Amino acid sequence: MLTCEICGEDVMSEADMRTHLLLSHLENEMRCPLCSLAGVSYDELHFHIHTAHAEGGDQSTRRHGGTTASQACAKAAGFDRVANGGRPSRTCSGASPDRTANGPSSDRADSGGISGPAAEELPGDTFGNLGDLWRLSSRVGRLSDQTSTHTEEITCPVPGGSARVPHCAGEESRGDREEPIRTKLKRLFSPMKEKHFPCPVCPLVFSNCFILQEHVELHLQEQGVAEGSHAERYECPLCSLTCADSTALQLHVELHLEGSAAIGTDGACSDLQLAKQLQEEEERKRKVEEDKREAEEFKKLQRQFGLDGSGGYRKQIERNLERAVSRGHMAPAEFHRKRAEVMESLASGIDDGRTRTLGLMAALYEYYQKEGRDCAHVWLSAETDHYSSSEGDQGWGCGYRNFQMLLSSLHGMEAYKDCSNEGRVPSIPQVQALIEQAWREGMDPQGASHFNSRLQGSRAWIGATEIYSLFTSLGVRALIVDFHQPTGSGNTHPRLFEWVKRYFSQSACRGARLPPRVVQTTQPPIYLQHQGHSRSIVGIEQKKNGSLCLLIFDPGCPSGDMRKLLARDGITCASMRHLRKFLGSLKHSQYQIVAVEGVLSPEEKRTRIVNSRSLRAERIP
């Protein structure tokens, strides 16, 4: 006759006991027959009975012929391999050699650990995997940490394994041990109050944040190896932040873990504070990178617009002459002669005229008288000389060369005689000096501050506002018109073409009932500015179908090509392609023009200087 230690029911045989345990206990709620412990698994109850109720289990063993509840449970679960012809069960190293599976233990009551039948009946297959062993050793470890003062090593029931399982040692009496054991069991099976730290990558849970940190680092290292060295971004498993490399991600996750540790200890830190700290750190890095990139871009713009202090017209022309000599394109004697001419021109402030082409407007008028039968009307500006860029201003001097073209046209007009610098065209360094003088008079203070009030000795680009300031300083009335956006399909500017037509045709049609087909007006050319370049408009064609075509003098066109227009054969359609610009040829997003309208009185000049503090242009549309 066998008695169940769990519920006290008597059964006839071991088979009946196995069936009883399976039906009454293993499939139902486990409850300790000696205390109020309930709601635990079989393994936990098995361990509980042979640790908390060691003496009671020993007495029940003696009463019932040495068959304990744990043995019966093990047999019912199929763990008794000896009875069924399986391999023999293993014993713990702490048990005496003479202990048997069915014999009572003489020192079990004093050991306080896993020994005697409880230890002997733990076969190697009881723990199906290392996770079960980990749960058992964790429970024993937590129980031992609260009650014992020293530990001894117990051999792991898994073949070849071992684990340090702390347990009580000493010669205490039962009364001295019962109260701390009950306290331990209450702490063991009651809801844990300590902080749990779940792994964000896998389902493991840790009670120590530092162990979790090492565990997550292993995940990150595996992720870095799997993704390889070509991975560009790494995403944090705890938030949506992405990092450039695995090292940065590891540091970022450590901040998370440190924040979690601080929360678990004193609650001084929060996830929100950690997120703000990380965001501020990223913001500082981004700002540093942006400042560095902006500084590099600013240096590029300074080099592009000639504000990097690399020298102006004189230095550039000297370098180009020296380069020509070193390459064998120029003899040393010619180098010294040209250099002397440049120095003389710079000293006088007058352009040397080496890039100047005369008589082009007369040649155009003659061409349209004979050719261009597809043109209904042609309007040409007053006589204007063409100035090409030279070795000293290649790449940046277009604005200065266009001013020279406009000034050469004003020299032939009586109305501008007092404003035309005594009929002489200044050199580029002298034009820079004239603009600086206009700034000193109070013209365009914002533009002056942009150039630090200095142009001489630099390769700085100038635009429509500098041309306007220069004309105002010379007493010439000028107008800036800003075509700030396209007014036609395909990013074209038909309003610009119409404005130029009115500018030239109004003066030609005064007092004439039927204007001639080709007219050379008394209007100066128009300064045309767009992003990166400027040119001069010297006329406009109107085709028989109504379309318009501008006639342009471009400083970037070499003087040799412009002089071909004066050849003996005259101007041809092929040579005119350098001058014609149709509507589809001007597709920049913005154009500005400067048109000369007359002479300023002293009062008007002072008024314009005062108003230039907030310089504004006429905007079309």
Which are the catalytic amino acids?
Answer: 398, 533, 554
Q: Most distant CA pair in the chain: distance in Å?
A: 142
Q: Which two tokens stand for residue 619?
A: 């905007």
Q: Find the helix or strand (DSSP H, E) in which 543 lies.
A: strand 533-543
The single residue listed with the structure tokens 């130029």 is 500
Measured between its terminal Cα atoms, the distance across the chain in Å is: 112
Separation CA 1–CA 64 (nearest Å): 8
Judged by DSSP in three states, 196 sits in coil
Task: Count Cα atoms within 13 angstroms, Cβ side, for 375.
Answer: 23
Separation CA 434–CA 345 (nearest Å): 16
Q: Find the helix or strand (DSSP H, E) in which 468 lies.
A: helix 464-473
One-letter amino acid of 445? P
Q: Under a CB-based contact definition with an 8 Å cutoff, are residues 128 and 73 in contact?
A: no
- Helix then strand then coil, % of the chain, to nearest 5: 45, 15, 40
Q: Under a CB-based contact definition with an 8 Å cutoff, are residues 349 and 427 in contact?
A: yes
In 10 A of CB 183, how many CB atoms? 12
Q: Is 302 exposed, middle or buried (0-12, 13-18, 19+ CB in 10 A)?
A: middle
Q: Which two tokens stand for residue 496?
A: 């610009």
Q: Find the angle CA(291)-CA(297)-CA(299) to the nearest 5 degrees.
A: 105
In 10 A of CB 455, how many CB atoms? 25
Buried b (16+ CB within 10 A) or exposed e, 322-338: eebeeeeebeeeeeeeb
What are the distances in angstroms from CA 273 to CA 251, 258, 260?
17, 12, 11
Separation CA 214–CA 220 (nearest Å): 10
Q: Under a CB-based contact definition with an 8 Å cutoff, are residues 113 and 94 in contact?
A: yes
DSSP 8-class letter at 415: G
Separation CA 104–CA 96 (nearest Å): 12
Strand partners, 483: 591
Roughly what angle, to the nearest 10 degrees, separates helices 174-189 and 42-52? 160
Strand partners, 205: 198
